[in-house]
Amino acid sequence: MPVDKANRVLRYVILILLSVLCLFSFYILIVNSTRLHSQIQKGFSILPDNFFTRNLNNVLANKEVPVVKGIINSLFVAGASALLATYFSALTAFSIHIYEFRFKKLVFTFIMMIMMIPAQVSALGFLRWMSSLNMLDSLVPLFLPSVASPIVFYFMYSYMQSNLPKAVIEASRMDGASEFRTFNRVVIPIMKPALAVQAIFTFVGSWNNYFIPSLLLRSKEKKTMPILVAQLRSADYLKFDMGQVYTLIFLAIIPIIVIYILLSKYIVRGVAVGSVKE
């Protein structure tokens, strides 16, 4: 066998093994969502059963876990977070990339310093601030801070440096377009791959966020899916049902898969056709 062909076969084998490892846990999740609590306790099974409908009905009938409301809350928070983070981070990156102003490097350094601060460090101060604003049991504090997202900003700024020629902006200005019109009509289409990537990451991160929502939310009607999963998982031992837990987790990952399918086509696309390179 030629060396090139052998290397290609080896690469495919490694990729297949990695794919199987990544999808195996997801497959086990699906299998366990079709089994009863007593069956799951007996051990591992590679084949699914036929109790998914029963588990689903039990989850939806659980008054302590408002699944439908939790999905709606999580979709609203994650969607708003992704929209605000991507748009305003791209807008901030555009201003720093295009404009020349005093203390430009200082502003960039300050944003990078904020990026290094873990969310847990500022959680107590954020909680006290929300308490003073009477917003403890509200969804607004879960998505509004996404307007200032240093990590998304840095990704957008790096992408603009290599894919957003200043000649395109100058041409738009010469055509009489305002700055916001230039950003919305010229920059946004060029930034679609970067926006899609960060929208997926931000959506998933917000959807899976448990720490901050668990500190802010109190009422059942406001709770998000991670809180409901943890609440169902930590139920009383006599009422604990692993079949319901796996079914709820399965329901929780469906929106993430849908969002990825909808946005993944933009990831593989290149920069918008017609952009000019310097």
Q: Are 120 and 246 in a shared domain?
A: yes
User: Is position 105 within any domain?
Assistant: yes
User: Is position 277 within any domain?
Assistant: no
Q: Are 19 and 91 in a shared domain?
A: no
Q: Are 101 and 44 in a shared domain?
A: no
* pLDDT of res. 277: 43
Burial class (CB in 10 A: 0-12, 13-18, 19+), 165: middle
The answer to whether 190 and 168 have CB atoms below 8 angstroms apart is yes
Range of the domain at 9: 3-51
User: Is position 273 within any domain?
Assistant: no
The answer to whether 172 and 182 have CB atoms below 8 angstroms apart is yes
Q: How many domains does the chain have?
A: 2
How many residues would you count in the chain? 278
Residue owning tokens 């031992």: 237
Q: Are 149 and 203 in a shared domain?
A: yes
Distance (Å, whole) CA 233 – CA 255 = 21
Q: Are 42 and 146 in a shared domain?
A: no
User: Is position 275 within any domain?
Assistant: no
What single-letter amino acid sits at 272? A
Q: Are 205 and 170 in a shared domain?
A: yes
Q: Are 90 and 224 in a shared domain?
A: yes
Q: Are 143 and 104 in a shared domain?
A: yes
> For the chain (length 278 residues), average pLDDT per consecutive 10?
77 91 89 89 85 90 87 94 95 91 89 84 87 90 91 91 86 87 90 88 92 90 90 67 88 87 68 40
Q: HSE (CB half, 13 Å, CA atoms) of 9?
A: 6
Q: Are 167 and 29 in a shared domain?
A: no
Distance (Å, whole) CA 206 – CA 200 = 10
* pLDDT of res. 270: 42
Q: Are 166 and 72 in a shared domain?
A: yes
Q: Are 71 and 138 in a shared domain?
A: yes
Q: Are 30 and 139 in a shared domain?
A: no
- Looking up residue 141, the CATH number of its domain turns out to be 1.10.3720.10
